[in-house]
Amino acid sequence: MPADALPAADVVIIGFGWSGALIAEALSAAGLGVVVLERGPYRDTASDFPPGFAPDELRYAVRHDLVVPTAQNTITFRNRVGQTALPVRQWGSFLPASGAGGGGVHWNGQTWRFRPSDFVLRSHLANAHGHDVIPSDATIQDWGVSYAELEPFYDRFEYLAGISGRAGNLRGHRQEGGNPFEGPRQRDYPTPPMRMTLAPTRFAEAARALGYHPFPQPSANLSEPYTNSLGVVIGPCSYCGFCERFGCGNYSKASPQTVLMPALRRRPNVALRTGAEVLEIARTPDGRHARGVRYVDADGIERYQRAELVILAAYTFENVRLLLLSGIGQPYDPRDGSGVVGRNYAYQTTASVQLFFDETRFNPFIGAGALGMVVDDLNAEGRDHARLGFIGGAHLAAMQSGGRPIQSRPTRPGTPRWGGAWKHAVARDYLRNVRLGASGSSLSHRGAWLDLDPTYQDRHGRRLLRMTFDFHANDLRMIQHATDRLAEIGRAMGPAEMVVNQRHGPYSVVPYQSTHNVGGAVMGPDPTTSVVNPWLQSWDVANLFVVGASSFPQNPSYNPTGTVAALALHAANAILTRYLPAPGPLVPR
């Protein structure tokens, strides 16, 4: 044991985002001694994003103040084999978090449950349409956990966070005004939906007239004050319009800070160490047991934290990279499809439609990260997408998250980018435009994976993670179909002009799309096609659990965090009720 080793902990958690914080809460409530190591700084509402300076678009949204600096950690990227992957030097397509609260600080708060069929995607498609509808290079698979098993944990997360929404399916009974296509839920949302501005209202009217079933986006921006089961009070959202990419100055966006930290702070058996970047998971000589982690602390000193249980909750990229750097699990080899670590990376396939009106003021500066109306019909099980030439689906929405003018001031087609004509156009169009979005699923496939880069290293001389990814042709067909439907709704809203922004390949890391990077350490019932079992326990190292969207075998159209949270709470429950009474593999290999 190195001289600078610290007192052993029951549990060490790597990363303090939603995943790490939820597990820390559950395990510390049961009396375990928990140490959390977080690479970024400590952050809280009053000190880091109070209303006085929270609404600074340049600092947070443009200069990415809450995002991990690429100088500290980045990935390399290429579209396909044969290209040389190059480092992402400036974040674009996605914004990985750093610091206490992780992405939970600066997310939008669009909070979804996945549908029951999403968890059995491959068998569902095969049963409904036959194996032939699944592209031959698609590596989509079942999750090994069912919606029914996760439902209590979705419910627990929604009631911790106070999510604002309206049920569409209460214990099998359809509810007016909610999502008619959702899986059955045991009770309604803890708080009512957000109040709607004009754009989502008009979108819903137009969609309804076309036969769709619009409903309010379930939101972690709270419609009214709420006290959760830990006794923590979350405030009402002020629709401030500085939400995604920003911390909330009003304590109204559910985050580890607003939902969990006030309770955790009072527990003597939880320690959060910030500025602590984990380098490796250390194991016993036979490799079957994790002994703890090596990390660099805020002073640059290397430390060793021993623990009985290691929870890896460092977001998709670092989850996969730390497994690879620690030599845990067989790395995926795309040539023959063998191995598992890095396999099944997937993303989100998005597109948009921009509407311009002559007179109507939409006041885009009013907004919240999850304020909007959504249509989920295109995902619905009844629809035979296979007949249309693709599998998967999308949801369509009018989200009004705030018209912050450095980044959001669209002008009509043909407008120059500068000069007097631009000035007149932006003055006319700013208040009178509406953006509609389509968010689509992403297949996992043979051409998309994560491994270690052969060339580029981080500042500690450790290899960067390499992403090889492009959109599958299936997904481009899917999103084109969805965008066409979105444009029909847009046209029905009666704009003077409309621009349809279809998604085309190749995938680029430059324009922002979503921070919904999934897979690479996927879950499943079969150790030859998964890294972790259905309780997120490593198949190779029984006292290691890998938590986060890295466990998704493929990505449905919905934002991931509701499911990330449910899986984290499901894993924590398994640790307490199954693992601790009899430490060892929960599923025999």
Partner 1 sequence: MLTLAEAATLEAIVDRLIPPDELGPGGREAGCALFIDRQLAGPFGRSESLYLLPPFLDGTPEQGLQSPLTPAVRMRAGLAALEAHCRAAFVGRAFAALPPAGQDRLLSEIEDGTRSLAGVNARAWFDLVLQMTMEGFFADPIHGGNRQMAGWRLIGFPGARYDYRDWVERHGAAYTLPPVGIGGRPGWHDAG
Among ligand SF4, ligand FAD, partner 1, none, residue 56 binds (CB under 5-8 Å by kind): partner 1
- Of the candidates 378, 382, 347, 563, the residue with the CA atom closest to the CA atom of residue 475: 347
Task: Give min distance, CB of 128 to ligand FAD, in A.
Answer: 27
Burial class, 55, CB count within 10 angstroms (exposed 0-12 / middle 13-18 / buried 19+): middle
Find the binder of ligand FAD among 24, 33, 40, 440 (CB under 6 A): 40
Asked if 214 contacts 203 with a C-beta cutoff of 8 angstroms, the reply is yes
Find the binder of partner 1 among 240, 263, 489, 549 (CB under 8 A): 240
Among partner 1, ligand FAD, ligand SF4, none, residue 487 binds (CB under 5-8 Å by kind): none
For residue 123, give the H/E element and its range: helix 121-129
Catalytic one of 106, 395, 516, 570: 516
Q: Does 360 bind partner 1 (CB under 8 A)?
A: yes
User: Which residue stretch of 149-157, 231-239, 386-394, 505-513 sits at the interface with ligand SF4 (rule: CB under 6 A)?
Assistant: 231-239
Binding mask 58-97 for ligand FAD (x = CB under 6 A): ----------x--------------------------x-x
Q: Does 252 bind ligand SF4 (CB under 6 A)?
A: yes
Query: How many residues at the interface with ligand SF4, by CB under 6 A?
Result: 14
User: Which residue stretch of 247-255, 309-317, 493-501, 581-589 sits at the interface with ligand SF4 (rule: CB under 6 A)?
Assistant: 247-255
Residue 516 known to be catalytic: yes
Pick the closer one to partner 1 by CB: 239 or 539: 239
Spatial separation of the C-alpha atoms in residues 51 and 45, rounded to whole Å: 9
Spatial separation of the C-alpha atoms in residues 221 and 46, rounded to whole Å: 18
Task: Give min distance, CB of 372 to ligand FAD, in A.
Answer: 11
Q: Both tokens of residue 433?
A: 């435009």
Task: Give min distance, CB of 400 to partner 1, in A.
Answer: 10
CA distances from 403 to 92, 104, 377, 419 (A): 19, 21, 28, 22
Find the binder of ligand FAD among 155, 244, 377, 429 (CB under 6 A): 244
Find the binder of ligand SF4 among 11, 237, 434, 567 (CB under 6 A): 237
Among ligand FAD, ligand SF4, partner 1, none, residue 19 binds (CB under 5-8 Å by kind): ligand FAD
Cis preceding linkage at 506, omega within 30:
yes
Query: How many residues at the interface with partner 1, by CB under 8 A?
Result: 68
Q: Both tokens of residue 342?
A: 């890095």
Task: Give min distance, CB of 224 to ligand SF4, in A.
Answer: 12
CA distances from 478 to 214, 243, 379, 386, 516 (A): 20, 29, 11, 10, 18
Spatial separation of the C-alpha atoms in residues 551 and 548, rounded to whole Å: 6
Spatial separation of the C-alpha atoms in residues 471 and 385, rounded to whole Å: 18
Site for ligand FAD in 300-319 (CB under 6 A): 313-315, 318
Q: Does 365 bind partner 1 (CB under 8 A)?
A: yes
Pick the closer one to ligand SF4 by CB: 160 or 240: 240
User: Which residue stretch of 118-126, 211-219, 233-241, 471-479 sits at the interface with partner 1 (rule: CB under 8 A)?
Assistant: 233-241
CA distances from 528 to 131, 157, 340, 522 (A): 20, 31, 7, 11
Asked if 184 contacts 169 with a C-beta cutoff of 8 angstroms, the reply is yes
Q: Does 102 bind ligand FAD (CB under 6 A)?
A: yes
Spatial separation of the C-alpha atoms in residues 94 and 81, rounded to whole Å: 22
Spatial separation of the C-alpha atoms in residues 419 and 416, rounded to whole Å: 7
Asked if 158 contacts 190 with a C-beta cutoff of 8 angstroms, the reply is yes
Spatial separation of the C-alpha atoms in residues 561 and 478, rounded to whole Å: 23
Task: Give min distance, CB of 207 to partner 1, in A.
Answer: 17
Question: What three-state secondary structure class fits 35?
Answer: strand
Among ligand FAD, partner 1, ligand SF4, none, residue 58 binds (CB under 5-8 Å by kind): partner 1
As separate numbers, helices (DSSP H) first and strands (DSSP E) second, the chain gives 11, 21
Spatial separation of the C-alpha atoms in residues 194 and 197, rounded to whole Å: 9
- Of the candidates 515, 253, 250, 195, the residue with the CA atom closest to the CA atom of residue 369: 253
The torsion angles phi and psi of 340, rounded to 5 degrees, stand at: -130, -30
Site for ligand SF4 in 465-504 (CB under 6 A): none
Among partner 1, ligand SF4, ligand FAD, none, residue 482 binds (CB under 5-8 Å by kind): none
Among ligand SF4, partner 1, ligand FAD, none, residue 253 binds (CB under 5-8 Å by kind): ligand SF4
Among ligand SF4, partner 1, ligand FAD, none, residue 315 binds (CB under 5-8 Å by kind): ligand FAD
CA distances from 513 to 25, 199, 440 (A): 31, 21, 11
Find the binder of ligand SF4 among 102, 200, 369, 520 (CB under 6 A): 369
Which residues are near partner 1 by CB under 8 A? 51-58, 62-64, 69-71, 74, 77-79, 83-84, 86-90, 92, 195-198, 201, 236, 238-242, 249-250, 360-363, 365-366, 403, 405-406, 409, 417-420, 423-424, 426-427, 430-431, 455-457, 459, 506-510
Which residues are near ligand FAD by CB under 6 A? 14-20, 37-40, 68, 95, 97-99, 102-104, 106-110, 244-245, 276-278, 313-315, 318, 369-370, 515, 548-549, 559-562, 564
Active site residues: 516
